[in-house]
Amino acid sequence: MSTFGERLAEALASRGPLCIGIDPHPQLLTAWGLGVDTDGLEKFSELCVEAFDGVVAVVKPQVAFFEVFGSAGLEVLERTVAVLRGSGTLVLADAKRGDIGSTMDAYARTWLADESPLCSDAVTVSPYLGFGALAPALDLGARTGRGVFVLAATSNPEGGQVQNARLEDGRTVAQAMVDEAAARNAGADRLGSVGVVVGATLAQAPDLRELNGPVLMPGVGAQGGTADDVRRLAAGNLKAVVPNVSREVLRAGPSVPALRDAVARTVEQFAFLQD
């Protein structure tokens, strides 16, 4: 199988630079006229699949909103991931897992192993038990052709307490995470498979020029991030940027045509990423 980075580069070129979230939080379920239960969750997910499958480069289910319904919610997630991946749409599981040793290995196998019913094209991980603790996910992803997106500089204000701290060499912790990811991507011909997450609402981002991998930028739209913010924060690495938009598009639902229109308008805003 080709690498995740190669498949992502192809998807961005053919479908535009956009990641759309499937975020079935209670307010959206209610706004769509659905119950805040597993039936509502299933219908919400089905509508999102119909609207986004084959239309956007990446679809990102927010795992927590499925887990809250227990095993039934995870069954819906399994079906959602399977349908999207079965038709060739890249799926990024937004699980933000991070642990050590055998526990991290189990998380890695959940999201990146061929035999797992939740196997996705990529997963988000947290490096704040140390970047080295992510080795089980990074190594398994390299073996199975899947990707890992490492939280580097998140948009929540609390994140700066850790991410902006300075190491002895003067780098911020966030920059060190980007540099570690870059080392994993060394030698990739087209686009490495280890990405980073950098919030689009930040005043300043780590230096991304040597990453040689994808940059997921959440926070666009409802959270206040704009296309100009993406252009500013990712200067020097624009072709690897994947803006993540969720609520701004999802509020157009439950109409599938309206959701697709919202996607088209959003893709237009980021046409400069492909110039």
The residues assigned a catalytic role are 96
**Cis omega before residue 206 (within 30°)?**
no
Residue type, 235: A
Structure tokens at 161: 């307490």
Distance of alpha carbon 134 from alpha carbon 154, whole angstroms = 18
Length of the chain, please? 275
Q: Closest by alpha carbon to 54, among 16, 19, 15, 20?
A: 15
Q: In the numeric block, which tokens belong to residue 196?
A: 């980073």
Q: Environment class of residue 156 by beta-carbon count within 10 Å: exposed (0-12), middle (13-18) or buried (19+)?
A: exposed
- 3-state SS of the chain: helix, strand, coil percent to 5? 50, 15, 35
End-to-end C-alpha distance for the chain, whole angstroms: 28
- Contact 266/14 with Cβ under 8 angstroms? no
HSE of 82, CA atoms in CB hemisphere, 13 A: 10
Nearest to 218 by CA among 242, 189, 236, 244: 244
C-alpha dist (Å) from residue 44 to 22, 31, 51, 246: 9, 11, 11, 13
Residue 19 near residue 84, CB atoms below 8 Å: no
